[in-house]
Copies of this chain bind each other. A is one copy, B any other.
Amino acid sequence: MSTNRVGKQSISLNNAPVIVSSACVAGKKEGEGPLKHTFDRVENDAFFGKKTWEQAESTMVTETIERAIKKAGMQTTDIDCLYGGDLLNQCIGASFGVRKLNIPFYGVYGACSTMAESLSLGAMMIDGGYAQSCAVFTSSHFSTAERQYRFPLEYGSVRPPAAQWTVTGCGCLILSNNAEKRNKVCVTGLTTGKIVDLGITDANNMGAAMAPAAYETLRTHFVDFCRKPSDYDLIITGDLGYVGHKIVKDLFKKSGVNLNNFTDCGLLVYDRQKQGVNSGGSGCGCSAVTLAGHILSEMRKGTYKRVLFAATGALLSPTSSAQGESIPGICHAAVLEVM
């Protein structure tokens, strides 16, 4: 047994689960950004036609999952299991979003690393033969996150330079055990993150708080798989933004490694200069819509053959911050390959 372990904290998925479809729905601001053409739908109403932002977020979740299932040519009854979560207290974005789908559900909490965590768990379930098809998803909503983590929007608080903008968006992938893998994007490896906390306490500087975890996971990944960064066409973290991305790049540089093929979903999802998002995008939805839209469509087009997707999470709460705690970071990585 344990034939799938690779190195210290990685896993080889020998049956290479296929990403048979993906879908993403995003908000107005995201729909005005550089990735707008990669979204399945842009919703200009922040309420998604509902009465509250929380209901908006779960409505977006339901729609995105249903779109992904439909794009795979499947029915909800074809999906053996759902993995997902979000940033809201008690993950109500996910729970209420999947409530009516009648699909077995494992709730996940990894803050903004949730897309990579759900993808990892779903891929193992398929690879091991415990499911034929899984849906993995996550979401965030600017307005639900702002009022929960920071201030009521009505206050109009000034945002410091290192602050990031929570993406309103949901991404969902359908993973399947298809035997035919040629020209398909498959999940072939995983590196599970450990919590890294170097004592950052500024909840307006998540990029800096998460960067050490991203560095540790990427570094361990290369060692575990005996690969170098140039073995990937693209290395992309979740939502480090400008500040965190620079820290990771610098940490690698100090260890003698130049990451030339390294970017971050938080840098791609908005036009930082024109859209006034300070250090970039953040939130579970940031990496979710970038993966489900941009990254996978570029892989299908042949731009990238092998991508290392490493979503990052800051495992704080307003309570832990108020109690003076520092911010624990985590980063999970998944290898995506066109076979």
Closest to A147 in B: B319
Contact between A2 and B132 (Cβ–Cβ < 8 Å)? Answer: yes
A302 at the B interface (CB under 8 A):
no
B-facing residues in A1-28 (Cβ within 8 Å)? 1-5, 9, 11, 15
Q: Which residues of A contact B (CB under 8 A)?
A: 1-5, 9, 11, 15, 51-52, 54-55, 80-81, 85, 87-92, 95-96, 98-99, 102-111, 117, 120-121, 124-125, 127-132, 177, 192-195, 197, 315-320, 323, 325, 328, 330, 332
Residues of B within 8 A of A52 (CB): 323
Shortest distance from the beta carbon of A335 to any chain B beta carbon, whole Å: 14
Residues of B within 8 A of A325 (CB): 92, 96
Contact between B1 and A92 (Cβ–Cβ < 8 Å)? Answer: no
Residues of B within 8 A of A90 (CB): 87, 89, 109, 111, 315-317, 320
Q: How far is the CA of A128 from the CA of B328 in the complex (A)?
A: 29
Closest to A325 in B: B96
Which one of A9, A177, A325 has the highest number of Cβ atoms from chain B below 10 Å of its Cβ? A325
Contact between A108 and B108 (Cβ–Cβ < 8 Å)? Answer: yes
Contact between A129 and B2 (Cβ–Cβ < 8 Å)? Answer: yes
Given A130-B128, A192-B104; A92-B4 close (CB under 8 Å): no
Contact between B11 and A88 (Cβ–Cβ < 8 Å)? Answer: no
Q: How far is the CA of A319 from the CA of B96 in the complex (A)?
A: 12
Q: Which of B9, B98, B319 contacts A88 (CB 8 A)?
A: B319
Contact between A194 and B108 (Cβ–Cβ < 8 Å)? Answer: no
Q: How far is the CA of A278 from the CA of B92 in the complex (A)?
A: 27
Closest to A50 in B: B323
Closest to A86 in B: B109
Contact between A105 and B193 (Cβ–Cβ < 8 Å)? Answer: yes
Q: Which of B105, B315, B323 contacts A192 (CB 8 A)?
A: B105
Given A89-B90, A317-B89; A104-B9 close (CB under 8 Å): yes
Residues of B within 8 A of A4 (CB): 128-130
Residues of B within 8 A of A102 (CB): 194
Residues of B within 8 A of A5 (CB): 80, 129-132
Extra contacts, 19 of them, besides A54-B319, A108-B109, A124-B125 (Cβ < 8 A), are A1-B15, A1-B177, A2-B129, A51-B323, A81-B192, A89-B317, A89-B319, A92-B319, A95-B315, A96-B315, A96-B325, A98-B195, A99-B328, A104-B192, A106-B108, A106-B110, A109-B109, A128-B128, A128-B130
12 contacts between A and B (CB under 8 A): A1-B129, A9-B104, A90-B109, A91-B315, A92-B325, A98-B195, A104-B193, A106-B117, A109-B109, A121-B121, A124-B124, A128-B130
Contact between B109 and A91 (Cβ–Cβ < 8 Å)? Answer: yes
